[in-house]
Structure 1
Amino acid sequence: MVITKFHKPIVSVEWLHKNKDATNLVILDASIPKVTENTNSTNDLCIPKARFFDLKNKFSDTAAPFPTTYPTQDQFESEARNLGINNNSFLVVYDDKDIYSSPRAWWLFKSFGFENVAVLDGGLPAWIEAFYPLSKKEVYQGAIGNFTAKKNQDCMCFFDDVQKIVKNRTHQVIDARSQARFMGQEPEPREGLRSGTIPNSKNIPFQNLLVNGRLKSENEIRDIFQEVLEDDKPMVFSCGSGITACVLALGAELTGYKNMSVYDGSWTEYGSLINNNDMDAVQNWSKKELVAYILFYAANSNLSETNKERNVILSKVDMNTFQMVYDEFKADNDYQCIQKIIQGMETHKYSKSDLNQLFVDIKVLFFADGEFDQVEHVVFNWLKRIINEAA
């Protein structure tokens, strides 16, 4: 028996069990630990005959400064052949976390011109839940394949591409990170990586596409995308390091979207390469970071902020964000401060209620020491005017 066609980019565990003996079927285990996990942890069990697709070491450019960086065409072709993958193979990719890293392997194959690949819906947990057999992981020692890679330039985009997208607003950037990370309400899991967002990006946490570890229905996923899409712009998916962005790509393809790509470096690269002291980098502030910067400006209307004013600002952001924004504010002169506030307001689309809340926050800060003096009145009216003009 041979497999001749996948009708969708996902298959069920029932389908895989039924077709497990197909002569051209290759099952790939693309499991990786999450950033917050012990990287030495491992699961010794796998779906029978699965071959380990080593995303971190074999199918990434390990010499690159950022994690899981897109490999070269030659590297990908060679490593795929080493797993016995042929041009007529049909691949089913899974991971041990429902649907997490397997879509990255799926998307990599598509980016190198190979379409005979699908993701196992629910991954290893769904296979186990169905009481299907397991086996011990073994290193593949079979025949070398004849797989041929042909790079599809439209599947991946990179830092320079995203810089142009940000400037010209030609694409809709959709971020797969959690809402808390996207909004800067919790720190990034990678040590030293600042919080923030790609300018004008929208957020669809990849988990929103899943229920009980499996993809939601096509109609449900389509509704989720339609809530954030602008017109018919092409989509660029981003996340922390290019892994879960591919979950969004999988959901988009399942529901019929075609014009899309994945930002390989995602926020790890963008947040690292954009200097937060650069005037252009203010576009990367979250709204909370912008509010903190404005409040620092207001608090220093009398040349120094009080402890009570600091506490007001700390009620809006965490300590790491407080310190980051404080350091930047202290490095800026008055002209730079005003320009950054104006640019920040232009970047974030504030509603009337958002503006009213911002003005309340500024007043609360001014009243923190028990009085609203004449200098603070002048600064408040000045801020209110430039904020309203920029919003």
Structure 2
Amino acid sequence: MRLLPTKQCQAGMRLGKGIYNEEGIILLGINVSLTDHLINRLLQLGIDYLYIQDPNTDDVEIKSPLSEQTRFKAITEIRNNFRSLMDQAASKRAVKNPTLGKSFNNVLQNIIDELSDHKEALIMLTDINVMNNYIYNHSLNVAIICISLGITHGYSRNDLFALGLGSILHDIGKTKVPSELLTLNRAFTPEEYKEMQKHTVVGYQLLKDEPNIPLLAAHCAFQHHERIDGSGYPRGIKGEEIHDFAKWIAIADSYDAMTNHRPYRTAMLPHEAMEVLYGSAGSLYDRKKVAMFRDNVAIYPLGLTIKLNTGEKGVVTQINPNYPQRPTVRIFETADGKAAQPIYEIDLSQKHTLLIESVNPV
């Protein structure tokens, strides 16, 4: 299958992956034929990319890092706990949540098990065919990225659990932020941004005294917007003052935010988000951690259409774990703009003079 910008899709193309809502209910199934109306509706709902069936790439299989069952259970727990806190905020009740930490125990253990079983796998573009409340999937995606990096880093099982819990709950303070700020279809004004910044302090206050929540998880909520050079918030701490877990979450949080649709901008592709992160390595983000992230993320996802510096066009069909920036591409159009006869593949890890010049060429 191929990964195409939704706005490049045409009526008659068939979905290669189904589209789900936040409840895990399928809204558009695999094989559904797109119409102009469906394409416009998907764009309105914030789905910027689609997996499309293509006979030239039938063998390209896009696998999720987690099983559907584990992802569904995780999203359900996140949604239920976050909604409960939002309801409390709406009713101005302050209630302890002694089951908050326990409710994520089994889910996190399953996530760690599944990611550990495939620890050689690269971090792929997160599920883009899901219509959801951004905060729920974002929390899970950040946990998946951080746990994957933690496994590569060599953290113990206990540390992976603490990092995973801190990742899932890093934005829990947003449950107390005015709901209208979470659904704005534009960038924040300075006053709104200042209000939104409070979610770090609120998150820390929500978690620090909760039974079954490690204090470290509370500090993940507190520190995930701090930056290496001291330009972050809420306290402006820097360097070694910031806990390592919060440094991992800062990278994953920024990356997932950039690669997901927001009401005021379209989603970036992984290589674009990676450029932003790398440009800020050493100032905003820990340089060594960004380098490890770069080496473990598939910056050119499977199915992505690319153009080489030779003018040839093709689709990414295989990721090289040792050189994720240099995948194997299946060429369908030659440098002179003619259909390749026959179609052929190039392993960029073996062809060092060839470079990916652009993605999604028209």
TM-score by length of 2: 0.28
TM-score by length of 1: 0.27
Compare CA radii of gyration and give the structure with the larger one.
1
